[in-house]
Amino acid sequence: MALDVAVHVGRPADLTAAAARAVDAVKVYGSGQTAVRALDGITVDFDAGRLTAIMGPSGSGKSTLLHCLAGLDALTSGAVFIGDTDLTTLSDTQLTLLRRERIGFVFQSFNLVPTLNATENITLPLALAGRRADPAWLQTLVGALHLGDRLRHRPSELSGGQQQRVAAARAMVTRPELIFADEPTGNLDSKSATELLEMTRVAVESFGQTVVMVTHDSRAASYADRVIFLADGRIVHEIGHPTMEGILDELKRLGA
């Protein structure tokens, strides 16, 4: 039985603004017999200033949801909002500018441009917009992510954890409304993963950053304020203020 989670999790807009919203989001790949409904009518709000984790077994649609929320992929039907902007009405260029200005990204791998050094990678979205970085903010980010001595290095000269922290700094440099992270700890050893997750919490708590994170890792999800579980393109469960045990139980129930 699919729960209508929106009823439970949706809060009145006057209490806490939703940073992003999906309304009856449907994504179908292919057509006819071979059609796959990757998203099967998802409606969900993501609260501002919170870290939300999306979990689910492989093929549950969690990455597709993230991509559609970030304007990287287009819905078959339904709508996606970043703030008040309906992404389904935007052109490719408008979407690109929206990603550049209002969204940050951290991916599992290949997060950095190999030909640019750490500072250049961090400020890349600003440079693409032809803007300069706010030195104080940059300083704050670099300090918070412990990157001070690695700024002139190229990605190939950085450890995996350092690379991912550079990516995190890049994601925050424009002070975006929202950061999307796709398995950010997937390629990291546990120490680096812990560091990154702790820094993410700092970003949420100290800077009021909104983060949506897709992950397989229940330990990573346990850092979230809220975990949403997907299966077969639908939201099947959610846990507020999760614990490792709660998450693992739910995953077991889902057979993941």
Partner 1 sequence: MFKIALRSTLAKKRRLLSTAVSIMIGVAFLAGTLVFTDTIKRTFDDLFADVYANTDALVRSSTSVELQFGGEIRGRIPESVLTTIRGVDEVAAAEPTVSGFAQIVGADGDPIGDPGRGAPTFAMNYTSGVLAPWEFTDGSRPPGPGEVAIDKGSADDGDLHVGDRITVLTQTGPHEFLLVGTVRFGSVDSPGGASISLFDLATAQEVLLGGAHEIDGVVVGAVDGVSEDELTERIAAVLPDGMEAITGTAITEETQDSIADAMGFFNTFMLVFAAIGLVVASFTIYNTFQIIVSQRSREMALLRSVGATRRQVLVAELVEAGLMGVVASLVGLVAGVFVAEVLQRMLAAFGMDVPAGGTAFGLRTALVALAVGIGVTIVAAVFPSMRASRIPPLAAIRDVSLDTSGHSKHRLISGGVVTAVGGGAFVAGLSGGRLEWVGVGALATFIGAFMLGPLVARPGARVIGAPLPALTGVVGELARENAKRNPKRTARTGGALMVGVALVAAITIIAASVKDWVRDAIGEQFTGDYVVSTETMGFGGLSPDVAVAIGELPDVALVTGIRTGAARDLNAAADAEYVAVAPATAGRLFDVGMIDGAVENLTVDGILVDDDEAMGRGIEVGDVLPFRFVDGVTRDLTVQGIYTEDELAGPFVVSQQLHEQTGVDQFDVSVYVAKASGVSDADAAAAIAAITDDVPNAKFETRTEFIDSMAAQVDPLVNLMYGLLGLAVLISLVNIANSMALSIHERTRELGLLRAVGMTRRQTRRSVRWEAVIIALLGSVLGIAIGVFFGWSISVTIRNEGLAAFVLPVIPLVVIALIAVVGAVIAAVRPAWRAARLDVLRAIATE
Q: Given candidates 2, 13, 35, 113, which one binds partner 1 under the rule CB under 8 A?
A: 113
- Report the distance separating Cα 223 and Cα 11, nearest Å: 22
107 binds partner 1 (CB under 8 A): yes
Going across the sheet that includes 77-82, the strands are 36-47, 18-29, 77-82, 85-86
The C-alpha atoms of residue 158 and residue 75 are separated, in whole angstroms, by: 37
Q: How far is residue 191's CA from residue 196's CA, in Å, rounded to a whole number?
A: 9
Binder among 31, 34, 115, 148 for partner 1 (CB under 8 A): 115
Binding mask 65-104 for partner 1 (x = CB under 8 A): --x--x-xx------------------xx--xx-xxx---
The 194-233 contact track toward partner 1, x by CB under 8 A, reads ----------------------------------------
Check binding of 28 to partner 1 (CB under 8 A).
Answer: no
Q: Does the protein bind partner 1 through residue 116 (CB under 8 A)?
A: yes
For residue 109, CA distances in Å to 90, 112, 154, 185 come to 28, 8, 15, 9
Q: Is 256 an interacting residue with respect to partner 1 (CB under 8 A)?
A: no
Residues 130-149 that bind partner 1 (CB under 8 A): 130
Instruction: Tell me which of 186, 201, 248, 254 binds partner 1, using CB under 8 A.
Output: 186
- Determine, following the binding rule CB under 8 A, whether residue 183 of this chain makes contact with partner 1: yes
Contact present, 46 and 19 (Cβ < 8 Å):
yes
Quote the radius of gyration of the chain (alpha carbons, Å). 18
If binding is defined by CB under 8 A, does position 170 make contact with partner 1?
Answer: yes
Q: How far is the CB of 128 from partner 1 (least distance, A)?
A: 5
3-state secondary structure of 49: coil
CA distance 252 to 211: 25
Q: Is 105 in the site for partner 1 (CB under 8 A)?
A: yes
User: Residue 22: which H helix or E strand, with range?
Assistant: strand 18-29
Give the interface segment with partner 1, choosing from 108-116, 142-150, 191-199, 241-249 (CB under 8 A): 108-116
The pair of three-digit structure tokens given for residue 216, joined into one six-digit string? 């397989």
Q: Helix (H, G, I), strand (E, B), or coil: what is residue 142?
A: helix
User: Which residues lie near partner 1 (CB under 8 A)?
Assistant: 63, 67, 70, 72-73, 92-93, 96-97, 99-101, 105, 107-116, 120, 124-125, 127-130, 156, 170, 182-183, 186
